[in-house]
Amino acid sequence: MATEILIIDDNSDIRNILNELIQDAGYRTRLAANFNQGLSEIDKKLPDVAIIDVKLDKGDNDGIQLLEHIKTKNTDIPVIIISGHGNIEMAINSLRSGAFEFIQKPFDKERLLNFVKRAVENLNLKKENKSLSSKLFHSFEIIGKSGNIISIKDQIQKLSQSESRVFISGPTGSGKELVSRKIYKNSKRSKGPFIIINGALLDSKKYELELFGEEKEDGSIIYGALEKASGGVLLIDEVTEIPLETQSKILRVVIDQKFKRINSNHDIKVDVRIICASSKNVNIEIKNGNFREDLFHRLNVFNIEIQPLNKRIEDIPLLVEYFIENICNTYNYKKFKIKDDNYLLNYDWPGNVRELRNLIERIAILSPGNDEEKILNIIKESLSKSENETFSVAENLSVPLRVARENFEKEYLISQIKKFGGNISKTAKFVGMERSALHRKLKLLGVKDLN
């Protein structure tokens, strides 16, 4: 499909010159002669690149308003700002607003075409990167042998055959989106769309627009997530961040299976499976008055809880091996092995699986091959100390060796027991002790039951 350039300029001579110049270069064009036409063309269909005059017919900087409008829809679209009254301040302001380039009239044709060429290349590069990232993400599997992961896989298998609403709980980076995608992929709706909206990232004034869409005065329609997901699945991530007023409208949608677009009296029937996710404790959010209990009960027909990575460290070696294989194959990086995984197993992983994946990708990019020392240095530099770490070498320099050793053993064993969720058998196996010997050691150190 040919690249499409939207030209918005109220000067017909300039508009026609740009149109001929850009069409001769092999691009398709669309034209708008004023602010309203430009707004309509943008809302009708986003272009690949836009060229906008900074001053149209609505005010001194109405072209900048159109630039900002495009950026609210898709930040990747390059916008070239042109002006016959340009100055350094105007150029800086347009670039701060997200313009790709600023060019002053009368402009050099070759220079303008060069800007357009670079803008198209920039857009294509971003599309390729997103496609590659999407391919990499979609290829990920749910990896692990912990009881939590085994249970989740079984739940996914059962839920994929139903239409039940699902509520996924788990800390940031634990894989909530991946679990929802697996449910979608294995369901009867897999040929339909999979749409995501994130309650934490939406503009506070645009929740309902994003969800329900809008009918404009000129008859044009902005489709919301509910319609975009028709026949498929809608994932509402961080659903507890959505305002209470909008929550009540979501509740009506769930109950009535229909909704109205903004500025419309026409009911739209809902044909979508809703999956919600949250990294917050929903019961606390309900208690604090931030989330509707009746909505939660409607959405929480089936609950999946993903434990943080530091509660299932037996999954870490499998995840490391999987990410190395997957990332290196996708990006054609040199494969490597991590032979010393003590740092990985003892780290607290506040960013969970996402943080681990990012670390493996960082190692792969730096291409150390199988240089064990370099790999270890990357790991050490990347992993900050856990904020909850209480053992301090400095504090123990002022006490006898026996006391320092006891302090270290106590803190070390408490840390390991917590990582294994209080399971003494798993802890003993990991630290290399018999279960009975570990019990005696804990009693000797004064460590009480941590369950």
- Map out the domains of the chain as residue ranges: 4-127, 162-307, 310-382, 393-445
Predicted confidence (pLDDT) at residue 367 exceeds the cutoff of 90: no
The phi, psi pair for 236, rounded to 5°, reads -100, 100
Nearest to 177 by CA among 131, 138, 133: 138
What share of the chain in percent tops pLDDT 90? 47
**pLDDT tens string 94-109:** 887 888 888 888 888 8
Farthest-apart Cα atoms in the chain, separation: 90
Fold: same for 4-127 and 310-382:
no
CA distance 316 to 190: 30
Q: What is the pTM of this model?
A: 0.59
Nearest to 307 by CA among 420, 387, 450, 140: 420
Mean pLDDT of the chain: 85
CA distance 34 to 63: 9
Gyration radius of the chain over CA positions: 28
Name the fold adopted by 162-307: Rossmann fold (3.40.50)
Question: What local confidence, expressed as pLDDT, does residue 389 receive?
Answer: 41
DSSP output for 136-200: HHHT------SHHHHHHHHHHHHHTTS---EEEE--TTSSHHHHHHHHHHTSTTTTS-EEEEETT
More confident residue, 398 or 440: 440
Question: What local confidence, expressed as pLDDT, does residue 342 receive?
Answer: 87
**Contacts with 189 (C-beta within 8 Å, 6 or more apart), sequence order:** 231, 232, 233, 273
- What the block records as the tokens of 15 is 């508009």
Pairing status of strand 166-169 against strand 194-198:
unpaired
Name the fold adopted by 4-127: Rossmann fold (3.40.50)
* Positions of E strands within 22-146: 28-32, 49-53, 79-83, 101-104
More confident residue, 445 or 367: 445
Between 1.10.760.10, 1.10.10.60, 1.10.150.120, 1.10.287.3510, what CATH number should domain 393-445 receive?
A: 1.10.10.60
Pairing status of strand 258-260 against strand 267-269:
antiparallel
Contact 337, 370 (CB under 8 A): yes
**pLDDT tens string 36-49:** 999 999 988 899 99
Question: What helix, strand, coil percent values describe the chain, rounded to 5?
Answer: 50, 15, 35
**pLDDT tens string 156-177:** 999 988 999 999 999 999 999 9
Most confident of 130-139, 259-268, 386-395: 259-268
Quickly state the pLDDT bin for 386 (edges 50, 70, 90): very low
Enter the CATH code of domain 310-382: 1.10.8.60
- The residue type found at 48 is D
